Structure 1
Amino acid sequence: MTDVAVQVRELRRAFGRKQVLDGVSMDLRAGCVTGFVGSNGSGKTTTLRAMLGLLPAEGRTLFFGRPLAAWRAPSRIVGAAFAGVAGHPKHRVRHHLHMVAAGAGVPTRRADELLEQVGMREAADIRLSALSLGMSQRIGIAQALVAAPRVLILDEPANGLDPHAIRWLRDFLRTIADTGTAVLLSSHLLAEMQQMADRVAVLSQGRVVAEAAMSDLLAYADRQSVVQIQFAPDDAPALTGLSRRHGFELRRTGPDTADITGINREKLARLCLDLRVPLFQLSEDRSSLEDFYLTIAHEEFKIA
């Protein structure tokens, strides 16, 4: 596809006898925020480092059709941040970013602009060792963006951020993606990705077992939910007909109660309202994204 910025194919890496990556493959799309999700220790960071050539591994990763080493100025192709900012602890934030900018061959004013963009202008004279985890995360993002790369890779960027800062991160990454940048961010929290990502790739047992648009993933989770209803017994035929017309399953649990799957609570309520069938109880046992993860960790679910 023309919008594919990065192609990851069959990455394999073992540490001793432990196969950490067992054929990891996925695509990153330009203008798209992709969440890379897996439990702690599932190999997310190993995958990111292998993609960037920081860790030897079998397989290949192509950035716009070429290995990263084939690009003359790789910092203009991809920027990455692992666990905040990397630099000498005694260096002050502004001087550190100026050095990064000089190394990337871009004007130092770019670093100053990024400090403003990530809301860290007031931290410009703080030493790196004195940064809080949340501040370090923001400075790390600024460092990754110094050369205005076309791909941005962030490892657990929400760690240490309070709810206000997480909202800032969500809006900031959306702005970056809207410029056409392909964004990949890892997390062990699927619910966090629901707010940030357009697409999700789920890593389990050393391979990507799900790669889907977030909307498709949420629709799949909805289909696993169970809605409990209570109704007038005389309305049972109308509800049965409704289930047949709209493709959801109705299982009677009593003369005036039923469990329904294949439709979420909101949509069911609207359909019953249109049909003028009153519901005396409407509750939902909804599968969380974490439940979804536990499900697909054992069965492959892939949507192009």
Structure 2
Amino acid sequence: MTAEQPPAFAVRGLTKRYDLVTAVEGVDFTAPSGTVTALVGPRGAGKTTILRVLLGLVEASSGTVTGRRESPRDVGAVLTPRGLHPRRGARAHLSVYAAALRVPPRRVWEVLGLVGLDEDTEIKPDAMSSGQRTRLALATALLADPKVLVLDDPMAGLDHTEHGWLQDFLRKHARRGGSALLTAESLAAVLPAAEHIVVVHEGGVAYEGSATRLRRGHPDRLVVAASTPVALATGLAAEGYTDSVIRPDGRLAIAEANEAQIKAAADSARVRIESIIPDPIHPDRVLASLTKPTRVASPPMPYGIPR
């Protein structure tokens, strides 16, 4: 991101209250231009509220939102629900929106091709799979050729193939100079596409930074059963491998060192190794560690108010 390329969104001190209920409070994060940014967190964390404030659909109680938006056409959105007319086929649906946006009719066929629906132009939402409905909603968002895409829970209900397609689409959009901001309840679902991660928890930001830095703080480990765990940990530390944790069952969970290095340290310390078992950290375990409940649940939100 440079001085000539402002962020897609910059959020500072964002707070939204509904009467006595605070949906989000003091939210700060930046969605850099030219990247895919994911707002990740459990249901009710405040992700949808943040998106709706960014889109101008909900007025913030306080805070500021700035970004790379010269006109409303610079932002395309996929919301929940998807907003698809049940009686209109894909082409007819897009034609209505194209007319409203004053884009030429040929753009309908272009976006159908971009999302892979060019052979399903007459299919209606009731007959569509979840993936097809998401593709059609995305095609609607693309009609004005926006620089920024805002997608609310686009991975919901998608199978493995559709996940892969959407991840690839978002990566290509960023490589072309576009930006995307999406929400998800699963960190694993967005890691293949998202470069920038914002973990939202209880209406605030629990983590912001690169996916690489997040994983570095929660590394995969080798779990070792040893005759003297403390001696093995001491031997590893002497070799520079200081990230070892003794678990309640007495086994040693070791990061950074590989199996050969662990065995060499055990030989030097005269420690007997009984077993070495890989313990890869699933991304959603990382997410769970960042979003442990810390407060009493808020009262139910008024009907129709998104979280």
TM-score by length of 1: 0.81
Structure 1 residue 143: deviation in Å?
1.0
Q: Tell me if the contact between 2:226 and 2:232 (Cα under 8 Å) persists in the aligned partners.
A: no
Counterpart residue number, 2:72: 74
**Helix, strand or coil for the counterpart of 2:192?**
helix
Aligned residues between the structures:
283
Q: Tell me if the contact between 2:10 and 2:29 (Cα under 8 Å) persists in the aligned partners.
A: yes
Cα distance 1:190–1:158, how it changes in 2: closer, same or farther (>3 A)?
Answer: same
What does the per-residue CA deviation read over 1:201-238, in whole Å, with 9 as the maximum and x for residues that have no partner?
0111111121110011111111xx553225698xx978
Q: Tell me if the contact between 1:151 and 1:182 (Cα under 8 Å) persists in the aligned partners.
A: yes
Cα distance 1:284–1:147, how it changes in 2: closer, same or farther (>3 A)?
Answer: same
The CA RMSD measured in Å over matched residues stands at: 2.9
Counterpart residue number, 2:177: 180
**Helix, strand or coil for the counterpart of 2:258?**
helix
Cα distance 1:89–1:260, how it changes in 2: closer, same or farther (>3 A)?
Answer: closer
Counterpart residue number, 1:229: 224
- Distance in 2 separating the partners of 1:82 and 1:90: 19
Say yes or no: does 1:260 pair with 2:258: no
Counterpart residue number, 2:297: none
Counterpart residue number, 1:294: 288
Aligned with residue 166 of structure 1, among 155, 163, 166 = 163
Give the unaligned 5+ runs of structure 2.
294-307
**What is the identity, as a one-letter code, of the residue corresponding to 2:218?**
A
Cα distance 1:48–1:231, how it changes in 2: closer, same or farther (>3 A)?
Answer: same
Q: Tell me if the contact between 2:89 and 2:125 (Cα under 8 Å) persists in the aligned partners.
A: yes
Aligned with residue 145 of structure 1, among 94, 119, 142 = 142
Counterpart residue number, 2:129: 132
Structure 1 residue 52: deviation in Å?
0.7
Q: Tell me if the contact between 1:191 and 1:289 (Cα under 8 Å) persists in the aligned partners.
A: yes
Structure 1 residue 129: deviation in Å?
4.1
Cα distance 1:250–1:172, how it changes in 2: closer, same or farther (>3 A)?
Answer: closer
Cα distance 1:245–1:107, how it changes in 2: closer, same or farther (>3 A)?
Answer: farther
Counterpart residue number, 1:40: 43
Q: Report the structure, 1 or 2, having the larger helix content.
A: 1
**Percent identity for Structure 1 against Structure 2:** 30
Counterpart residue number, 2:66: 62
Q: Tell me if the contact between 2:12 and 2:63 (Cα under 8 Å) persists in the aligned partners.
A: yes
Cα distance 1:270–1:149, how it changes in 2: closer, same or farther (>3 A)?
Answer: farther
Q: Tell me if the contact between 1:97 and 1:111 (Cα under 8 Å) persists in the aligned partners.
A: yes
- Distance in 1 separating the partners of 2:245 and 2:157: 45
Counterpart residue number, 2:242: 248
Counterpart residue number, 1:302: none
- Distance in 1 separating the partners of 2:80 and 2:97: 17
Q: Tell me if the contact between 1:200 and 1:211 (Cα under 8 Å) persists in the aligned partners.
A: yes
**Helix, strand or coil for the counterpart of 1:221?**
coil
Say yes or no: does 1:283 pair with 2:277: yes
What does the per-residue CA deviation read over 1:221-262, in whole Å, with 9 as the maximum and x for residues that have no partner?
11xx553225698xx978744433334244679xxx85134x
Aligned with residue 18 of structure 2, among 15, 35, 58 = 15
Counterpart residue number, 2:190: 193
TM-score by length of 2: 0.81
- Distance in 2 separating the partners of 1:210 and 1:16: 28
